[in-house]
Structure 1
Amino acid sequence: MSRESRPRMRRAARIGALVEDVLHARGFEDKIREYRTWLIWDETVGPQIAARARPVRIRDGVLEIRVDQPVWMQQLQLMKPMLLGRLNDRLGGAVLRDLFLRQGKNAPVVPPPVPPAPPAWLKVALDDNDRAEIEATLGSLDDPELKEQLRRVLTRQKQLSKSKGGS
């Protein structure tokens, strides 16, 4: 397809959406639904169970779960129908057929890292003269999308410059 005949892209596509489209095109919808188990596990089973039992793998619709203590293994064996129902409800249908419990040591659950605070220069306020200078620089541009993107870049550049003591 030539560049002229393609419609203009409004925004860049997110990589997650592109990967999902490729996987769907290749017929991996069921595998994607199965492997969402890792994403929903903690929330679905609750913090007590999540601290003692972790999903390890899925084979032919059977989720293997590693449990760290025999007492918890017995408890989860009794809770198996309820857990299986909750997981399948959250996964959007009968994705998992069974749960297989295996005793073993689980790696400790590491909480996600706290995102760093934004840099101080982002909090620098611009005065009217700074904004007028940016608008004067952008004055001759006709493309509103490009103009907005450049406005953001120039604003950040001006904030960074002012934070370093520049004009």
Structure 2
Amino acid sequence: MSEDRPARPSDIARAALEAARAASASRPRPTRRRIAGPRRTWSGPGPGADDPQPLGRLVDSLVASQDWSERTRTGAVFGRWETLVGPEIAAHCAPQTLTEGELLIIAESTAWATQLRLLAPTILGKLRAGVGGDVVTRLRVVGPTAPSWKKGPRSVRGRGPRDTYG
């Protein structure tokens, strides 16, 4: 190259690269330290724990690790009621509360309440098979309730407002 000609951009870049290489070669190289710990192993042909998992499996493992199994089984009685007892029975009654193994069922009529009391062993068997044996141990079936005429904390005994109907 001649001294009187201005440097081209490619020549400037080449000179800077050579200077950087020379500076890098003169520096001492750091030694690689190996971190002690488990080595990476391959999971093999089947899915491993670090592979993407189906959502249902992840939810099941979360329920098991957090010890929520009793709550989920109790919730299954209410959430899957129609599936557990069948659509014919579920159309005429609904679960209300579940306390200490006793399930309160509200029937739509007194006739259905009587029928459900007769079907109680069958319903208990279906619930035990569907959600587990210790979730529901007893059934209490009640018929529909009449509207309450009580208003407020104090009331007078008697027929209430109906005694003035005629």
Q: Which has the higher helix share?
A: 1
Larger radius of gyration: 2
TM-score by length of 1: 0.49
TM-score by length of 2: 0.49
